Amino acid sequence: MNKIEDPLYTPIQVTSPDKIGPYLLKDKIGEGGFSHIRFAINVLTNQKLVCKIIPKRLLMEKNMESSLENEVAVLKKLDHNCTVHFYDLHYDTLNYYIMMEYCRGKTLLEFINESPKLSEGAVRVIFKKIAEAVKYIHDLGIVHRDLKPENILVNGNDVKLVDFGLAQYCSCDIDTKCGSLSYLAPEVLSQNTFNPYAADVWSLGIILYSMAFGHLPWTTRTPKELANQILRNQYFIPFGVSEPLKQLIENILNPNPEKRFNIQEILNSEWMTSFTPDQPVEVMEKIPSIVCPKIHTKIVKSNHIRIPSIDGKNLLKLTKRVPDRIALNKYHRRNLSNLF
C-alpha cells in the first residue's frame, strides 16, 4: 500500500450537541475534510437519518460559504433512486446540520477492497447504476466534481451517489480546480478552464478501472509523480478482460476531453449494453488471472491536498493518509505549476 504520512495532519475538530431541532444526534459514522457525519433519529417520526455537520468557522476560514449553498441547492433538486435524498437543514451558532437519507451498505471503496476479483457482470451491474446517477445529475445541469468510490454506497444491487459537497450547477467551462487527485482528469491539472462534465466522465473511468482490476491505474508514490502520470496518460490495462470493456475504459480515459466518451455514449457502449442477469452482486465469479505491473496503487481513502497560501509555502498539506484531494481557487491556481 502506498502511503504518505503527514506530520502536520490534525483531525478536523467539530463540536456538536446531541440534539438539533427534532433530531437526536448519535454516533459519529464518518468524517471528511470539512465535516463530520453522525447517525441521527427524528424523534417525531423515528426515522433514521444521517447528519452532515459543517463547522461555520471552517467555512469562513476557507471562504467556502457559497459551497454550502451550492450543496443544499443541489441536494434539494435530486429525486432519483441512485442519489441520496435531502430532508432538512438546521444551524446553530457553531455549525450547519444537513439531514439526509440514511443508506445501508458500505462504500464502493470498502466493497472493492473486501471483495474477490469481480466478474465483468458484477462490475457492470454496479457501474451501470453509477453511470445512470451521473447522467441524471448531468441532465439537471449539475456536475459532481468529486466522483470516487468513497462517495458511492453499495448495498446488494442498490447504489447511491452521495457527498455533493463540491457539486454545483454549471452551464459552461469552469476554472475552479477541485476533487481528488487520483480521479482528476488531465485537463483539470493542465488547463486554465475545462469542461466539468467531461472531467466527471474521466473520474467515472478511474472508478470503472478500479472496480474491474481492484486497484487504481496509477503506479506512483508522490503527488508530483501522480500528476505527471495522469498528464502523460500512463496506465496499463491488465490482460484477462473482454475487448468491449478494454475499449470502453480507453474511450473514457481519452486524454482529449473533446474525443472522450460522454455519459450517454458510455451507457450506449457495447460493454454496457451486454446482457447481465439482475443477480445480487455478492454472488460473483472470479475473472481469469491477470498480468499487472509489479507496482500498483491500492485503493485507499482519499486525502485532501490544499494550496493554503499565495506564496506557495506548505504547498502540499496532506490532511489525511494518501494524497488525493485537491482544492484550488483562482488565487492559488498559479501554484499548481509547483507540482511538476
Q: What is the pLDDT of residues 282-299, one digit of tens each?
A: 433 333 322 333 334 455
- Tell me how far apart the alpha carbons of residues 189 and 232 are, in angstroms, rounded to a whole number: 11
CB distance 123 to 212 below 8 Å: yes
201-230 in b/e form (b: 16+ CB < 10 A) is bbbbbbbbbbbbbbbbbbbbeebeebbebb
pLDDT in tens, 77-105: 999 999 999 999 999 999 999 999 999 89
Quick one: 191 exposed, middle or buried, by C-beta within 10 A (0-12, 13-18, 19+)? middle
Q: Say if residues 193 and 173 touch (Cβ distance below 8 Å).
A: yes
The three grid cell numbers given for residue 173, joined into one nine-digit string: 467551462
CB 280 within 8 A of CB 156: yes
Q: How would residue 116 be classed by pLDDT, with cut points 50, 70 and 90?
A: confident
Nearest to 326 by CA among 196, 203, 220, 223: 223
pLDDT tens column, 217-264? 998 778 999 999 999 999 999 998 999 999 999 999 999 999 999 999
The CA distance from 330 to 234, in Å, is: 28
Ordered domains of the chain (ranges, CATH): 19-102 (3.30.200.20), 106-273 (1.10.510.10)
Q: What angle, rounded to 10 degrees, do the helices at 196-213 and 120-139 form? A: 170
Do 238 and 213 form a contact (C-beta atoms < 8 A)?
A: yes
- Gap between the Cα atoms of 167 and 176, Å rounded: 12
Percentage of residues of the chain with pLDDT beyond 90: 61
- The yes-or-no verdict on residue 156 having pLDDT over 60 is yes
**DSSP-derived secondary structure letter, 83:** B
- The one-character DSSP state at 157 is T
Which pLDDT belongs to residue 324? 41
**Options 18, 88, 139, 146, the catalytic residue:** 146
Q: How distant, in Å, are the alpha carbons of 213, 232, 238 from that of 293?
A: 12, 17, 8
pLDDT at 7 over 50: no
Give me the pLDDT at residue 34, please.
82
Instruction: Kindly report, residue by residue over 186-203, the tens digit of the pLDDT.
Output: 999 998 899 999 999 999
175 is catalytic: no
Residue 208 has pLDDT above 80, yes or no: yes
Question: Is 52 part of any known ligand binding site?
Answer: yes
pLDDT digits (tens, 9 = 90+) for 313-340: 222 222 233 334 433 333 233 334 344 3
